[in-house]
Structure 1
Amino acid sequence: MRLLLTALLLAACAENPAPEPPREPTGEEIARARAFLAEGQSALPGGWTFRTIPFGEDGFLRLGSASPESPRGSVLFVPGYTSSPELASDFLARWYALGFEVASVDLPGQGGSVRRQDDYQKTYTGDFSVFGAAVGTAVEAFDRARMSSGPLILAGDSFGGHSLLRAAADGDAEEADALFPIVPAVLPTTGKVPLGLAEFATGLAVRFGQGAEYMADNGPWVPDRFDPATFEPVCGDREDRAFKNDALMTLDPALRVGGVSNEWAYGMVRSGRDLLRSEALGQDARPIRMVLAGKEVVVRNDAAEKLCARAGENCEVTVVEEATHCVYLEEDEVQEEVHQALLRLYEELVR
């Protein structure tokens, strides 16, 4: 054990080699991305518009929305890590077609929201209360301007699901009538490395001034990182959808997000443990409806289920057995199970 701790300490203190400068896409890669997206892969609902809202002292968030005539209710969606409203357009377009006013916000460090100054592609911070506050700011701004007088459902995917739960735990997002976390990243999976050991190692890196550095095997986004062979276990085998995020980032540098930093990884685990102990979440009277993936390999379903159990009868779990973590890229019939769960939640709110 002493040798292991020494190795971890040396790794945390070592100077990480600077990652290779990000390579710009080639003409062939740009052409492929354009052809892919021309097939309607990034179509947001009709009438979709983005606006910028202030966040904190000098930050800002990109908030987009669209509303059908006479919307039955409103759904604000928080995308996951490296994601954006453009990537989640299948969900947003389907909810719009079901009669909901829809909105989505980029979390700090992603999309068109405030970015780091040292490297705009790096994760924004390791303090996850910032992401909860961003969700709360977006909910408040959307609630003031929304067209629907029906219930407001706060939905989020993966990192976005974690962030909306963090907002609720911190007393933000009070305007939302219900919470709808989809494959929420309460705690990550860490493979053969015990979670506690991974937390200890990233914590050491933070303490020894390496918090903002990319974790091992992480770095800036590159246009040729997409590999269907490694992507399939995480996000399914729909290659006609799986390339979508990289196609978007190829054509729009503003959407690019790189790998995970030490401080972000450490912050996620600490925040997840806080969520599991949160008295506020345990006492939240609003309906919480979680959707989990049966083929999950990225986050720990047991942690999400434990959090839901602490919330008591207000929280229910739906497991979509054929879904991977990237449920928003799955077959239509798999996605439809998520949409039906949303409709059931809506019916509960208006009953």
Structure 2
Amino acid sequence: MTEPRFHLPADAWVGTVAAADGWPLRVMLATAEAPRGVLLFLNGRADFLEKWAEVYPDFLAAGWSVLSLDWRGQGRSGRLSGNGAGQIDDFATFVSDLDMVARWARARPGLAALPWVAAAHSMGGHILLRWLAGGGGAMLHRAVLLAPMCGLVTPRWMQALAGIAAAWRRARGQGEGFAWGQVAYGGRQQGAARRLLLTSDARRFADEHDWLARDPALALGGVSWNWLHAAQASFAVLARADLTAVRLPLLMLLAEREALVSNAAARAVASRLAHCRLRMISGAAHELLREAEPMRGEALRTLLDFVDVAARVEERA
């Protein structure tokens, strides 16, 4: 077994925060040496805190204390079924969990007075957009959406068929089962085909699996019919939302080689936001901050330059 190259910051607080319904959410708060602000980092589906351990020192070195969490049902925030499938009945639950963790952190000494920004990857980007559209995130000064999940690349006819199948399965009490083509965590998730969907950096791809070999309890497989139904319903909620009311300056970074989420759907969402800047990272696959160089460096520098404005404004005030 290969020892993981990157670990959570040694002095980070890692513990449990209770969601609104009491569900235990695993949360990390890492404090920068001389914090200029707080960066809320939201990871993606099936992710866990350790998977993104390489990027936390980059944020901390730039003066941003880092707040992150394992989403309900993944990482060490429990499981919503026993079969290893990704589950959720309603993405509103994720939005509520995000709001609760942000409120918990804001109540800690000294954090409310600092500038707050967010960086949200894939499903995390979708949840952040739902939170903002629903009037949350009032503490944020700026936010970056990294390959946000605004839609899937699957053809529309196939998504419609899957939606019908999901409704049929759920009506028969089979919603927790794996959706078509989805399997428990195993060799498929470690294979070259999946790697090419995520990153061209083989070593960074292996970092995830080094952690899962060390701590198999972190592993999560493909999505269930419940998750698929909830995702489609949440895309519809986002499509109906009045995004013109979101006045937050946003930066959306898209991956040129995106093959998981829909860049077209992300652009359509960006066009409805009053203050959203778009940038394509040439040559990059889905996981922009786990890509090979120079793509990762470009995405990271662009992100930090964008959120740095919030800290500089506060420092001049």
Fold shared, TM-score > 0.5 on shorter chain = yes
Q: Corresponding residue for 1:327?
A: 288
User: How far, CA to CA, are the matches of 1:319 and 1:150 in structure 2?
Assistant: 30
Secondary structure of the equivalent of 1:243?
helix
The more displaced of 200-209 and 98-107 is 200-209
1:340 to 257, 280, 301: 301
1:282 to 228, 239, 244: 244
1:266-281 maps to which residues of 2 (within 5 A)? 266-279=229-242, 281=243
- Consecutive unaligned residues in structure 1, runs of 5 or more: 1-30
Do the aligned partners of residues 347 and 229 (structure 1) sit closer, same or farther apart at CA in structure 2, a change above 3 Å counting? closer
- 1:143 match: 106
In the TM superposition, 1:1-351 aligns within 5 A as 31=1, 33-34=2-3, 37=4, 40=5, 42-116=6-80, 118-119=81-82, 121-145=84-108, 147=110, 149-191=113-155, 193-222=157-186, 224-279=187-242, 281-312=243-274, 314-349=275-310, 350-351=312-313
Shift of residue 147 of structure 1?
Answer: 4.7
TM-score scaled by structure 1?
Answer: 0.82
Letter in 2 for 1:261: S
User: Contact 2:184–2:222 (CA<8 Å) still a contact in 1?
Assistant: yes
My pick for the range that moved more, 82-91 or 194-203, is 194-203
What stretches of structure 2 of length at least 5 have no aligned partner? none
SS in 2 for 1:154: strand
- Cα distance, 1:330 vs structure 2: 0.8
Please, which moves more after superposition, 197-206 or 74-83? 197-206
Deviation at 1:226, TM superposition (A): 4.3
1:264 Cα shift? 0.5
Preserved contact between residue 143 and residue 307 of structure 2 (Cα < 8 Å): no
Give how far 1:146 is off.
6.4
Identity %: 25
Could you tell me how far apart the structure 2 residues matched to 1:264 and 1:52 are?
24
Residue 94 and residue 147 in structure 1: after superposition, are their counterparts in 2 closer, same or farther (change >3 A)? farther
SS at match of 2:66: strand
The count of residues paired between Structure 1 and Structure 2 equals: 311
Q: 1:90 aligns to what SS in structure 2?
A: coil
Q: Which moved more, 1:103-112 or 1:142-151?
A: 142-151
Cα RMSD (Å): 2.1
Give yes or no for contact 2:87–2:226 (8 Å, CA) kept in 1: no
Higher mean C-alpha displacement, 199-208 vs 72-81 = 199-208
DSSP-derived class of the 1:343 partner: helix
Q: Which amino acid aligns with 1:282?
A: T
TM-score (norm 2): 0.90
